[in-house]
A and B are shown apart, each in its own frame.
Chain A
């Protein structure tokens, strides 16, 4: 597994984020393909529409139970059952399967980013932000540095078309409302596209995240003895 990012929640790598995004996208596509609205599915799953939106966005803060309930409503539980059961685990010692000399079947799954280049860019931005938010919450000096960067941008080009977003960032940095820019909504994307947060990341951490995204573009193979990048 790739190195975890200093993320929120901790330990989430870019690969983990991509897997959650793919799961959320698939849940949303399945709901739409079945002609179901968010109101109906949220009601059936016993949750608010906000939670359903979080699940369909691949939000790591949504609970496993919420994912399960939505997947059950959409008839997607079967695949989770395979993961939960021993179907994909090695046979126990002493059983006929365990004594078999046949090589174990190898299952490999290649995970890569969406083919749309612009969506890759947004995944990268999301990962950079998640790491930066974590650092800013731990270190007030970094929050001050981000504020100074925005202040400089506004001072250098007060007529910039991004000025309204920079002003909103000043408020976010003051109040700590970082979740406004954390999701996959259009508004959150827009905020990230004019954000100062990534500028506070140490160079090696920034490059590590860029490297993870670059690997995902090429395709990361899961299920092999060791993770490898397809050439």
Chain B
């Protein structure tokens, strides 16, 4: 995953949840602090994201753009 992909995901998560403070966990969180980390650290096409102030809304994110969704099929992440 590239930084631009993560930014796309974050915009989509905000749109779905109407939350604007999001937490990224897992290996792709590195893209937040380093836009160009070594390629081997960013082979994953998955980012785990939940709203800081309402973590339960992560289920909405999973349903709408999570693994196996049309969003995933379209974008590859």
Contact = CB atoms under 8 A, between A and B. Distances in A.
Given A118-B25, A194-B45, A161 B1 contact: yes
What is the interface of chain B mostly: helix, strand, loop, or mixed?
A: loop
B72 A162 contact: no
A149 B71 CA distance: 12
Given A149-B73, A153-B76, A160-B76, A165 B62 contact: no
B59 interface: yes
A65 B6 CA distance: 45
Nearest to A125: B67
B26 A121 contact: yes
B35 interface: no
- Which range holds the interface residue count of chain B? 20 to 34
Contacts of B55: 117
Contacts, number: 71
A206 B68 contact: yes
A199 interface: yes
Contact of B62 (A124, A157, A190, A197): A124
Contacts of B76: 152-153, 156-157, 160, 162, 166
B68 A193 contact: no
B67 to A, nearest CB: 5
A125 B68 CA distance: 9
A162 B50 contact: no
B16 interface: no
B72 A165 contact: no
Interface of A: 117-118, 121, 124-125, 128, 132, 149, 152-153, 156-157, 160-162, 164-166, 190, 193-199, 201, 206-207, 210, 214
